[in-house]
Amino acid sequence: MIDVPEELAETQEEINGEAGRKFIADLPQLAADFLDRWDLRLDGPPMHGMCALVLPVADRTDNTPVVLKLQLLDDESEGEPIALRVWNGDGAVRLLRYDDATGTMLLERLDPARMLTHEPDSREAVLVIARLLAHLTAVPAPPDMRRLSDIAAGLLTRTPPVLTRIPDPADRRLIADCAAAVREVIDEPGDRLLHWDLHFDNVLGTDRAPWLAIDPKPLTGDPPSTSGPPSPTASTPPISPGASTP
């Protein structure tokens, strides 16, 4: 039986309330079920981000090292396997198995010690992100993927009440200007497949490629619009959902 990290439990309760508490309570049994169903054995200590538990495991039949990702099924996690199948390991972690009912995924194992965050050359790290962004967004998004324009419209709706709670005039002007810029381009949504959470912690090294993206939170949209969740009109500080290791 696995031990659920306290930090993950606290974050799930804060973000998802009762649904998060239930997810955490069900995690040990969920993990046990998939270890048995997919014939896996634990092969290292658990890892976690804000929304997912990631278990290093090995296939009992041939000892292939892989990871089991257990997460709360929601709008963001529903799109993840779709995007990973489209990319098929080209620039992103490879999806091996997926369970529609729970959102559980079996992924190739990357190297958590080779996170782009640890790259000492900040210029090179930014170039890695830029190359991955260009590569991953070169393909059209599949049908029925969440659209960046819809999310942007929702954020714009939330902007006026947020502005009233910002005491600094310069900060208010900056956010108002950002919102105005979004309004100018919201009618040009684009049709590319976006990795909406592409940051240093979500890029890992592996033997088969220097760098691969994980945890995409995919959207349909215009590549220049965003490489991560927009935060200027949010009412709370932005967070990076999902596990920080695949």
Catalytic residues: 197
- Angle, nearest 10°, between helix axes 169-185 and 148-163? 150
CB 200 within 8 A of CB 173: no
3-class SS at 58?
A: strand
- Compute the distance between CA of residue 244 and CA of residue 221 in angstroms, rounded to an integer: 24
Which residues have C-beta within 8 Å of that of residue 91, sequence separation ≥ 6? 132, 135, 136, 209, 212, 213
Which residues have C-beta within 8 Å of that of residue 156, sequence separation ≥ 6? 179, 182, 183, 186, 233
Supply the DSSP string of 114-142, one letter for each residue.
EEGGG-S-HHHHHHHHHHHHHHHTTSBPP
Would you say how long the chain is, in residues?
246
- Compute the distance between CA of residue 124 and CA of residue 130 in angstroms, rounded to an integer: 10
What's 208's DSSP letter? Answer: S
228 half-sphere exposure, CB direction, 13 A CA radius: 16
